[in-house]
Amino acid sequence: MGNSYKNYENNFKKYSGNSNQFKAPKVMIKEKERTEQWQENIIDWVTFYRRNVHRFIQHYFQVELYWYQVIWIYFMSICENFVTIASRAAAKSWLIALLAYARGVLYPNSEIVIVSNSMKQAGIIFGKMASLKNDYPNIAREIDKFYDTQNNYKCVLHNGTTIKVVACQEGGRGERSTFTIGEEFRIMDKTKFDSIVKPFAYARQTPYLKNPKYANEKILVEEPRQILISSAYHKGLWWYKETLDTIKMMLEGKDAGFIAFDYLIAIKHNIKTKKAIAQE
């Protein structure tokens, strides 16, 4: 008994300042103490944050968001298919990295794949993820492993979620994803995107689906989601038709959404100056 307490005391001192929630000392709630009210509270909060991911980011991650980012994140979170067309300097890569973290924490055992046109671009996106990890302790404490090498961009959370950044190339074939994000999709090859990226999608394998009680409840199965983000370009390329198709789906009341931002967003929030925009 004495040795056990000594080991506990040593570990308490060792990990007292650790950001890893699975090592840092904390008050444990025993199963017998989990009252019905406690369980209902957990369900309520998880439901609230899943429906309001922007508030989860603000409350738990402690990340301040501009109003346009709140709207953007909210609609990306509630739509099965979503397209964003935004000007340069609208913080697209930073925001999708942030959304990937939030989605990963709120939905355990997710497989989130951020797709870029090349591995070089993938490295830029993962750099945003690394910055968020370094800047916000509550993001860092959710991360178990973080691989940042030229050929392996992968983040593993403690709850079983994986976040990968892959290129829209033959090497990416065979990946699986419950939540796919296409970054700067207009420069991707349409044929490769359809044959390599779209087959990634599959439903998140939640534990409750294995319960015979819910075996026939198809409505409980989560549909895989796809988000496409790009800057605008010539409408003769495939991104334009893809965007129009999504807008039509949205107007028809289907589970789809669209949002666009011009250069004025960057000026309003001092990301770009009027002089710099004029020169461009």
Domains of the chain, residue spans: 18-279
**Among residues 264, 92, 106, 115, which one has the least CA distance to residue 180?**
115
Give the full edge-to-edge strand order of the sheet including 256-261: 143-149, 152-157, 162-167, 111-116, 179-183, 225-230, 81-86, 256-261
Q: Parallel, antiparallel, or unpaired: how do β-strands 225-230 and 179-183 relate?
A: parallel
Write out the two tokens for 234. 């010539």
As a whole number of angstroms, the distance between CA 159 and CA 21 comes to 11
- For tokens 């779209």, the residue is 198
As a whole number of angstroms, the distance between CA 169 and CA 195 comes to 10
**pTM of the predicted structure, to 2 decimals:** 0.83
Per-residue confidence (pLDDT) for residue 188, from 0 to 100: 93
Per-residue confidence (pLDDT) for residue 87, from 0 to 100: 78
If DSSP codes are grouped into helix, strand and coil, which group holds residue 113? Answer: strand
The CATH number that domain 18-279 falls under is: 3.40.50.300
Question: Residue ranges of the alpha helices (H) in the chain?
Answer: 2-15, 36-51, 53-59, 67-78, 92-106, 119-135, 137-140, 190-192, 238-251, 263-268, 274-279
Helix, strand, coil proportions of the chain in percent (round to 5)? 50, 20, 30
What are the average pLDDT values for consecutive 10-residue runs of the chain, which has 280 residues? 46 53 57 72 91 96 93 94 85 90 95 89 86 94 89 91 91 88 92 92 81 72 90 89 95 94 80 76
199-238 burial code (b ≥16 CB/10 A, e <16)? ebbeebebeeeeeeeeeeeeeeeeebbbbbbbbeeeeeee
Could you tell me which residues are beta bridge partners of residue 202? none
Contact 82, 227 (CB under 8 A): yes
